[in-house]
Structure formats: C-alpha cells, structure tokens
Structure 1
Amino acid sequence: MKLYHFALSGHAHRARLFMSLLGIPHEVVDVDLRSGAHKTPEFLALNPFGQLPVLDDNGTIIADSNAILVYLATKFGRTDWLPQDAKGAAMVQRWLSVAAGDLAFGPAAARLITVFGAKFNPDDVIARAHVLLKRLEAHLAEREWLVGAQPTIADVALYSYLSSAPEGNVDLSAYPRVNAFLRRIEALPGFVPFAKTRAGLAAAA
C-alpha cells in the first residue's frame, strides 16, 4: 500500500496513524502541498479534488481521510475499530461527521491561519473550537472513548487536529477530559505522533 501524505496535514496524519495502529505495512509518499504538488496532473489523476491523503491499495484508489479509515477497518475485518451493529456504526459515523464539520471548521481552521496563513476570521474559528471542546468534555464525562468501551476510528478521526489545537491559538487547558483522551490515544501500541510546529500557543510552550 502507498499513502500519499503531507507531514503537516492532520487529515493525512489520521490515515497514517490508523495504518500504524493496525500494523499495516505501507509506503509513505510525501506530497509537498506548499509547492503545489497536489495540483499536478499526475496527482489529480489520483484525486481530482487535489487533496491529501490518498491511499493506493495495489491500484484501488481511496481519497479522503475518513473514507480511508472506513476502507482499512473494513478490508482487514477490524470490527473492533468499526462496529458493524446498527447503533455502533451510526455512532461512529456521527463522529466522522463531526471530524468533517465542527473539527474542520474549528480547531483545524484555526491552525490553518497560523501555520498556513489561511484567511479565516480567527475569533470565529477559535469560538467554534471551544464550542466543540465543551461538547467533547461533557461527552467524555463517563467514558474513555467516543464510542463504546474501546477505541474506534471515531477517536482516530478527531485526534490529530485536537492535539494540535494550541498551534491555532486554541487553549486546551480548561478541558482535562479531552487532554486525558488525547493521552490515551498516544498510549496505544503503534501510535505515531503528528508533526508539531512552533505556531500559536505552541510557540510559547
């Protein structure tokens, strides 16, 4: 398997993290977003949306980080990571939607401003980030994982941009349960860290 990847992309990291947690042998192909390598005809042939990550499984091409998580869990029969019962599957899908929505337009967008110079309104995206963090803090009051009694792809989908939220000037200090949740993921066998930058609050750390 090949994973087309960019080290500072949280979307790419969630795919790489899950492959490592499952112990799947793979080749990482670095694609330099800053030089526009994701807009070349060669890359657009893999993903016409020009986005990372992309998984090449011996010619089967899967784009979109959440789709890659679902593909890998299904291909390898990992029902521990992707429940197949109706309720469990629906609950995981709910959090994948949060990853593509609230997380992307909150913590991830805030980090895009400081790391990549994106033109979002920082007050707006930081406020959205704290709305999500408060909801997560409440959700984790009586559970260790987002769905059920063990980690699933839902947890993987949220990790990268939550852990890097301080780089976007999103302070995590008021959320002890969220921080404990991040440490639990980091303690999983096969964990690989997300590349850090000296941006936002992380610059003073």
Structure 2
Amino acid sequence: MVRRETGERGLYGLINNAGRSIPIGPTEWMQLEDFRKVLDVNLMGVIEVTLKFLPLLKKAKGRVVNVASILGRLSLVGGGYCLSKYGVESFSDSLRRDMKHFGIKVSIIEPGFFKTAVTRLDLIDADLQRLWDRLPSDIRDSYGPQYLEKYSKAQSFSMNILCSSDISKVTSCMQHALMAKHPRTRYAAGWDAKLFWIPLSYLPAFVADFINDILLPAPKQC
C-alpha cells in the first residue's frame, strides 16, 4: 500500500515509535520469554519495519527517526526494556553511517519519563505481582516478604515525580528531525533527560549505581 501511494517519489519519512515496557523488574524474576516479549516489539519491530521501507527511503533520500529512551543510555531496571533501547541506539548508529552515502538521515530521540501507556503504574504493578507470584519460594524469601510492596512504591514515587504529561516535547523533536535542513543525530526530550539522566550517563558507572540504590529498595532491607 505504501509503495502504491508513494510511487516513484519514494518515502520521505519513517518514525519508529511503537513500544512496550513490561515485563520490567529485577532480572532474577524474568524468564527468557519475558525478554522476547519486549525485544520483539521494541527492537526487532524497529529493525523489521526499517528494512522493509529502506528501498523507498533511498528513492526519496528521506529520514528515519527512531524513538529510543534515556534507558538506552542507563540500564536502571531489569527486563527487556533497557536492552531493547540500547539496541535501538546501536541499530540507529549503524544505519546512519551506512545510509548517509544514499542521502538518508537517521535521528534518535531519547525521551525521559512521560505519562503514556509505557509508564502506566497499574499495568506495571500488575505485571510485577505476576512475576512475584510465580517465583519459587526460596527466591521470594531471599528478597524478603515486603520487597514487592517496597519496589512498587519506589516505582510509583519515581514516576509521579518524573513523568511529564507534555508529550509535545517529544513530538516537536520528531517534527524537527523530519523537517529541519540539518536534523540532529540525537534529541533529548524532557527536563529529566536533559538535566539529569543524560548527564548522569557520562559519569562513572558507580555514580549511576549509587543513584539506582537510592531509587530502589535492597533485598532483606525493606
């Protein structure tokens, strides 16, 4: 259908924005299928759609805009989400370097925390409960009986402080990446991305580890 609509002009712009966050949580709570659920959408989906439309994008010398995340710079939670966003960053860098010879420009958007379906606390909490309930009793015991409650409260605290409802900060980056004569390689969207997370990603790893320890509870210390 797209090829029929564009004809010989090709396709000027492609934005890859589809994504899911859950399952997220401590790595030990995950099974292989939990990683696949997220990676198939957030990373393999981006790759598949991009490869499908590359011939049309080459005709138009168009733009590719891939939505990653600040969690593609900092792995602050277990599960497939951070892995997928690191992958989007890497795929986009490789694509940009390969396609510049054909006039295609590739941009990455790295949003902070926004109020979307990806950050819905009711969905996150329900899935955390699912992960917790299926754990063997010895693993649950190693975390302590109150760990899930404390973990969920920590997630809620962080989301309520950080999440912005102004999605225009992201869409304005998309617009610039598509329309500007000289689009940026990377766009930071949101005050938390610009002022906190991205600067933190340049600091030594022990600093990010310390911040993570502040944000999330420790097993047996809940």
TM-score, normalised by the number of residues in structure 2: 0.30
Q: Specify the structure having the higher radius of gyration (Cα).
A: 2
Relative to total residues, which structure has the larger helix share, 1 or 2?
Answer: 2
